[in-house]
Amino acid sequence: LTRWALSRAVIVFSTKLQRDVWLKPYGLALDRTKIIGNAVDLPLPSEPPRAKNFLWHVRPIAMKNGERLHAAFTRAKAEHPEIKLEEGLIHKKELLERMKSCYAVILPSLTEISPNYILDALRFKKPFIMDKYSGFAEWLAPYGALVDPLDERDITRAIDELATEEGYARACKRAGQFSFVRTYAQVADDFLALIKASL
């Protein structure tokens, strides 16, 4: 029944990765799919970090790759004892407040379809570390560090790089070049255009 319903609908995905995951298992026709990207809000004013704190405020699920991240961070902390990993579930308003003055954000999940967490960090021009399999990996690669989430040493390498003065300066410069904005009105227009085209 699911396959039948999907075969007669136009299915909207937020990224190519998300669409690719669905195509074969559900037998979707490529021409019956559409990618409509997420909104990206306007930039927000940031503050200099008061500590070398990496934000990792995510749901405690296996997909977020916590075991490897903790091991990688412990290894990096042996070389850079001043770094700190901040974690735990918090409300969006508090997250944005913390991002405003954080050192960097880190999200080495096993995969992320469309990580708004990283987009929010870029609104503050904050450096980030993200998994290389993310649906945003190709798009956001010029602005941050991509890692193999299955390779603990690769995660450590990226943390080590950001922990140095030179590496952090390079990362801030890259993140500072991000200027993409996409309003919710633009997203709505894309959906309306799709609906009109199908009438």
- For the stretch 90-122, pLDDT in tens is 999 999 999 999 999 999 999 999 999 999 999
7: in domain: yes
119: in domain: yes
Same domain for 103 and 169, yes or no, is: yes
42: in domain: no
pLDDT at 126: 99
pLDDT at 1: 59
- The torsion of the CA quartet 100, 105, 110, 116, rounded to 10 degrees, works out to 20
Same domain for 61 and 147, yes or no, is: yes
Candidates 151, 143, 161; CA nearest to 69 is 151
Integer Cα distance of 30 and 183 in angstroms: 26
Same domain for 31 and 79, yes or no, is: no
115 sits in the region (left: phi over 0; alpha: psi -120 to 50; else beta) called beta
Flag residues of the chain having pLDDT under 50: none
- 3 state DSSP class of 198: helix
Reading the block at residue 179, the tokens are 């200027």
Integer Cα distance of 98 and 90 in angstroms: 10
Same domain for 24 and 61, yes or no, is: no
Candidates 118, 132, 96, 106; CA nearest to 178 is 118
Same domain for 189 and 105, yes or no, is: no
Integer Cα distance of 118 and 137 in angstroms: 11
Same domain for 22 and 85, yes or no, is: no
Domain limits for position 133: 52-176
